Structure 1
Amino acid sequence: MDPTDLVNQAIQGDRDAFIRLIREIENSLYNTAKSMLRKEEDVADAIQETILKAYKSMHTLREPQYFKTWMFRILINECNTMLSRRSLSTSYAEVPAKQEVSSPYDEVDMREAVDRLEESKRIVIVLHYFEDLTLRQVADTLNISESAVKMRLSRARQELYQKFKNFREVKLHVKPI
């Protein structure tokens, strides 16, 4: 079945069609929320709220082909709301992404490196490369211009390149015992 037909059925109130649509993108929603919120319980809450809000306002979706973009916009808004509610004593930037790499021999994982980026860079990388949204869809989802998306992607790629380049140089200059 054409995904647009499924969206149209969901818009007309077909609950099963809505559930099928959500199942198709649930991993993408999870990965995006996880990259923003990091805490499993917050991720679950954000996804639950996103699905509930989407279900209640499904009839407002004007262009069925943008369902996925629409869902990501709702999710990102929900994640941002949750982040703003977090305690003032712990800013988002101070929350460690994962345990620090303890030695140059540790594996460097691309997802972990992306998770360590500043949020504005991280979210464009996640949406564009991990979730396969077009530049236009990323721009629409984040309510920014396509040129801003391109700039953030460029800066994020440069930062990732430098991290991996530095890691590789350290590994090449350290002789095994």
Structure 2
Amino acid sequence: MDTDFSLIRRMKSGEEESFDTFVRKYYPDILKYCHYHGPRSCGEDLTQEVFIRFFQNLSGYSHIGKARNYLYTIAANLCRDAYKKKTEIPSEFPAEGQRAPEARTSGALESEGDPADRLSEKLLLEAALAKLSEEMREVIVLHYFQDMKLRDMAAVLKISLPLVKYRLSRAKKQLEALLREEEEA
């Protein structure tokens, strides 16, 4: 049986432990997403708001698709709204102790070797990501840092699959160009 289906059924029946299990399961990924996409100082607040909204609408939630994707949809909407309200550009990586998964692309996004080199690459990547538009940064983060499949990204972002593919391709090219510029500077 689907774990999320079981958890949601237990949450709907009021079992408190199931709420904790659900939050522990998804909180770290949603927090990373909100750190990348929301205003810098609002990551934890936005993450908490995602879960609050999910739980407020739990009684009307029908388990169609993945709960994870529904959480990302809520997070995307909240981050967009918060970003519109703030002029600050998010550029930081998740808080210390919360490590984003290694990027799976070749070349500039790989991190191997000396820790000092990896730190330098991380800083270059952070600077380059901050220069991307929100749409481009969003697809890079969802795909490479959150390991989200293209179809799931389309559902979360409420755009077509071909548009996801286009944005991802374009974002990778922009990011690679920005990384080259940063390395040359």
Q: TM-score, normalised by structure 1?
A: 0.75
Instruction: Name 2:19's counterpart in structure 1.
Output: 18
- Kindly tell me: are residues 156 and 19 of structure 1, through their superposed partners in 2, closer, same or farther at Cα, counting changes over 3 Å? same
Q: In the alignment, is the contact (CA less than 8 A) between 2:139 and 2:167 conserved in 1?
A: yes
Greater CA deviation, 28-37 or 63-72? 63-72
Q: In the alignment, is the contact (CA less than 8 A) between 2:30 and 2:72 conserved in 1?
A: yes
RMSD between superposed Cα atoms in Å: 2.6
Cα distance per residue 1:85-129 (max 9 Å; x no partner):
33xxxx35xx4736xxxxxx9823275133432110111111122
Measure, in 2, the Cα distance between the counterparts of 1:154 and 1:61. 34
Pairing partner for 2:160 from 125, 145, 154 = 145
Q: 1:153-168 alignment to 2 at 5 Å?
A: 153-167=168-182
Q: In structure 1, list runs of 5 or more residues that go unmatched.
A: 99-104, 172-177
Instruction: Name 2:67's counterpart in structure 1.
Output: 67
Q: TM-score, normalised by structure 2?
A: 0.73
Q: 1:9-158 alignment to 2 at 5 Å?
A: 9-40=10-41, 42-63=42-63, 65-86=65-86, 91-92=87-88, 95=89, 97=91, 107-109=120-122, 111-112=125-126, 113-158=128-173
Q: In the alignment, is the contact (CA less than 8 A) between 1:7 and 1:64 conserved in 2?
A: no
Q: In structure 2, list runs of 5 or more residues that go unmatched.
A: 93-116
Structure 1 residue 38: Cα displacement: 4.0
Aligned-pair identity (%): 25
Secondary structure of residue in 2 paired with 1:28: helix
